[in-house]
Amino acid sequence: MKVHSPLKRRLLAGLAATLLVAGAPAARAQDTNLKFQLDWRFEGPSAFFLWPAAKGYFKAEKLNVSIDAGSGSGNAVNRVASGTYDMGFADLAALMEFHANNPTAPNKPVAVMMVYNNTPAAVLALRKSGIKAPADLAGKKLGAPVFDAGRRAFPIFQTANNIGAVNWISMDPPLRETMLAKGDVDAITGFTFTSLLNLEARGVDLKDVVVLPYPQFGVKLYGNVIIASEDFLQKNPESVKAFLRAFTKGAREVIADPKAAIAVVKERDGIINAALEERRLKLAIETVIATADARAEGFGEVKAPRLALMASQVADAFNTKGRINPEAVFNAGFLPSAAERNIFAAAKK
């Protein structure tokens, strides 16, 4: 039996190790950590973000995405601006307001994808109040939290419909629908898919509710967008594109199967009423996501004239420190291809 010298054995061992490394697949690049802030609690519409996370679509794009519940669009914008979160979901009007009031902020968030092509904001009243049309609101008591998107944008709705002066009553969010049901206020502002189902949960028959959606009464505001911090966009542009690809893939499936999507939300928050949240999700898809405007403009996109008009309306209604540059608040350069964003085939026509 032939015995190798110690030197020869070491050379052969080194050669074998080299061959093993050369034949092994390339190591996976380190995934990018990404903190995402929702605008509100884990409810039906949050399925659009929880689904791609649960299905591994973010992970497949080399992203470690953590998703946290929120407490309003204004807070979501502030948390992304502060760098506490990399990306988030917020009302475009709140983002515009931040830009106008903080022109020198070093890390202003930017909208990178439109999700709610139409604002969900609406005025809701009980039929017994006698309110049937916007003009009937003059002189009435309206209730909403001070930060409510519908309340903030009410001056635009008021001007578009020649509504006289109204009286505002402020309250915490959980009391809004309760106060309307009890008759403490004549009407409320809120998101349609939130307030309508909350009223039902408080024993109100939906046939007794009058809903005045802003988009149906001359207010063509955009709604919620996906936002990213300026710093994260500059340092991780490919990660932003990857996030939007995964989100778009998930959105197509959520629209096609809302029931399955809500099961994922239930996994994240076990106390939700799955049947109620499925209805909320379907209502959101119908009223703000798969709308005629979204189909015409393309999922994820905005149109420059409409965006510019909204910027002017928000500056006036919110009494911002400066005017709003629409080109500074939305950047479409990170969107997936038009073919990838053609997701409405599964939605109810």
Q: For residues 242 and 248, what is the distance between their CA atoms, to the nearest angstrom?
A: 10
Q: Please give the average per-residue pLDDT across 155-173, as a whole number.
A: 97
User: Which of 10-24, 27-41, 114-128, 236-250 is predicted with the least confidence, judged by mean pLDDT?
Assistant: 10-24
Place of tokens 């061992």: 13
CB under 8 Å, gap of 24 or more: what pairs does 324-327 form?
A: 324/96, 324/99, 324/100, 325/99
Percent of the chain with pLDDT over 90: 89
Mean pLDDT score of the chain: 92
pLDDT at 2 (0 to 100): 47
Give me the sheet containing 110-114, strands edge to edge.
Answer: 63-68, 32-37, 87-91, 224-228, 110-114
Q: How far is CA 186 from CA 148, 174, 190, in A?
A: 17, 17, 14
DSSP letters spanning 254-276: HHH-HHHHHHHHHHH-TTS-HHH
Q: What is the pLDDT of residue 347?
A: 63
Q: Determine which helix (DSSP H) or strand (DSSP E) holds 111, and give its type and residue range.
A: strand 110-114
Distance CA 189, CA 8 (A): 83
The pLDDT of residue 98 is 97
Distance CA 285, CA 254 (A): 9
Closest Cα to residue 348, out of 246, 219, 258? 258
> Residue 30 has what pLDDT?
86
What is residue 19's predicted lDDT score, i.e. its pLDDT?
Answer: 43
pLDDT of residue 64: 98
pLDDT at position 86 over 60: yes
Give the model's pLDDT for residue 9.
Answer: 54
Q: Using the predicted structure, report yes or no on whether residue 15 has a pLDDT greater than 60.
A: no
Residue that the structure tokens 């969010």 belong to:
173
Read off the pLDDT of residues 332-342 as tens digits, 9 standing for 90 and up: 999 999 999 99
- pLDDT above 70: residue 219: yes
CATH architecture of 32-118+222-346: 3-Layer(aba) Sandwich (3.40)
pLDDT at 23 over 50: no
Give the pLDDT of residue 346: 60
For residue 234, give the nearest of 115, 336, 112, 93 by alpha carbon: 112
pLDDT of residue 5: 52
pLDDT of residue 345: 79
Q: What is the mean pLDDT of residues 90-101?
A: 97
Question: How many Cβ atoms sit within 10 Å of the Cβ of residue 189?
Answer: 25
Please tell me the distance from the alpha carbon of residue 220 to that of residue 235, in angstroms, as a whole number: 34
pLDDT, tens digit, 9 for 90 and up, residues 26-60: 445 689 999 999 999 999 999 999 999 999 999 99
Q: Which residues pair with 205 in a beta bridge?
A: none
Which homologous superfamily does the CATH classification assign to the domain defined by 121-217? Periplasmic binding protein-like II (3.40.190.10)
Report domain extents, the chain: 32-118+222-346, 121-217
Residue 7 has pLDDT above 70, yes or no: no
Instruction: Name the band, by pLDDT with cuts 50, 70 and 90, for residue 21.
Output: very low
Average pLDDT over every residue of 256-283: 97
What token pair was written down for 196?
């309508």
Above 90 in pLDDT, residue 188?
yes
What pLDDT does residue 27 have? 42
